[in-house]
Amino acid sequence: MTKPANIATIAIHGGAGTILRSAMNTTQEQAYHDALNEILSAGQKILADGGSALDAVACAVSMLEDCPLFNAGKGAVYTHAGTHELDAAIMDGATLDAGAIAMVEHVRNPILAARAVMENSEHILLAGAGAEAFVAQHGVELVEPEYFHTEARHAQWLRARDKEGMLLLDHDATSQAASDETTEIAPIDPDDKFGTVGAVAVDMHGNLAAATSTGGITNKRVGRVGDSPLIGAGCYANNRTVAVSATGTGEAFMRTVAAYDISARMEYAGQSLEEAAEQVVMDLLPRYKGRGGLIAVDAQGNVVLPFNTEGMYRGFAKVGETPVTAIYK
């Protein structure tokens, strides 16, 4: 049965971290707002036309991947070896079907690869060369590693690598540069402060879906996989409760199974979406040094976008209403 169209909602994020208002000019801010608005509008249109939440989140995340402003797909961060290793996951809240890929180096749109795993294999998570071979057979586009290169991201990696042993949340890198008196690189670099991307949606049939995609953390160890492709950690959707996509220090989201924890609080403890998300982001995650945020929607179209960092690129759009975008608190 079709529910009232006004429950249909999409929310997106482009990463959380030390995004300082003082380090951004209005042109840079506008570029983020424009990108977020364009992507929200595309997702909103799918929902308005009666499309599925799954199609809406896949479309939104593939657009975020194509946009070099964000750390996923084109513009992904560098590993310690100067390569790119991409992770992504997608989940259908109606069926609990899920698909994910990790450590791929040639997939232009990792979220489409995750969807191909979900729809064409009996597995949930494929990694590395095997994942690439499988998704290529199912029509997913592969590219040369150079495709992911951006000058800004490369400069960010060189800075991080030179600070031995330091792993930077992608979006913290600019503040790092700003506090580093020796750096020649301007702290105000719009290509330098992005994180994981994600989308969550509820469609007019009341079905939920979530999608998350990332280049991970700047200067990460080769082979490191974070929370983003792990169902329940950085991505989760269940029609009974909630759809969640997370961004932040992946290891803390893994230890707390953060996305699923929100669902469990709602299902077993009767918490509202707002209470559950607030407690996970503001109380649970910080206990494990977890920095970041998440976006979540429930089957009634309630939406929350909490974060415990200075900022998070984010926005949401309800069918029939103007999209809302924001960067800072």
Q: Is 213 in the site for ligand ASP (CB under 6 A)?
A: no
Of 248 and 301, the one with the shorter C-beta distance to ligand ASP is: 248
For ligand ASP, which residue of 217, 237, 285, 305 counts as binding (CB under 6 A)?
A: 217
Beta-strand (E) ranges in 165-291?
197-202, 208-214, 235-237, 242-248
Of 234 and 306, the one with the shorter C-beta distance to ligand ASP is: 234
Q: Is 169 in the site for ligand ASP (CB under 6 A)?
A: yes
Q: What is the side-by-side strand order in the sheet with 235-237?
A: 235-237, 242-248, 292-298, 303-304
10 burial (CB, 10 Å; 0-12 / 13-18 / 19+) is buried
Q: Is 15 in the site for ligand ASP (CB under 6 A)?
A: yes
- Nearest Cα to Cα of residue 162 among 231, 116, 218, 120: 218
Q: How far is the CB of 170 from ligand ASP (least distance, A)?
A: 5
> Rounded to an integer, what distance in angstroms lies between the CA atom of residue 141 and that of residue 72?
15
Binding mask 273-302 for ligand ASP (x = CB under 6 A): -------------------x----------
**Contact stretch for ligand ASP (CB under 6 A) within 115-123, 182-190, 220-228, 268-276:** 220-228
Q: Is 304 in the site for ligand ASP (CB under 6 A)?
A: no
Q: Is 306 in the site for ligand ASP (CB under 6 A)?
A: no
8 Å CB contact between 164 and 139: no
Query: What region does 223 belong to: left with phi over 0, alpha with psi -120 to 50, or beta?
Result: left
Phi, psi of 3 (to 5 degrees): -90, 170
Q: Which of 196, 214, 218, 256 is catalytic?
A: 196
Q: Is 170 in the site for ligand ASP (CB under 6 A)?
A: yes
Q: Is 250 in the site for ligand ASP (CB under 6 A)?
A: yes
146 burial (CB, 10 Å; 0-12 / 13-18 / 19+) is exposed
- Nearest Cα to Cα of residue 208 among 302, 320, 315: 302
Q: Is 150 a catalytic residue?
A: no
Q: How far is the CB of 256 from ligand ASP (least distance, A)?
A: 13
- Nearest Cα to Cα of residue 147 among 222, 99, 215: 215
For ligand ASP, which residue of 52, 109, 213, 247 counts as binding (CB under 6 A)?
A: 247
Q: Which residues are catalytic?
A: 196
Interface positions with ligand ASP (CB under 6 A): 15, 169-170, 195-196, 214, 216-217, 226-228, 234, 247-248, 250, 292
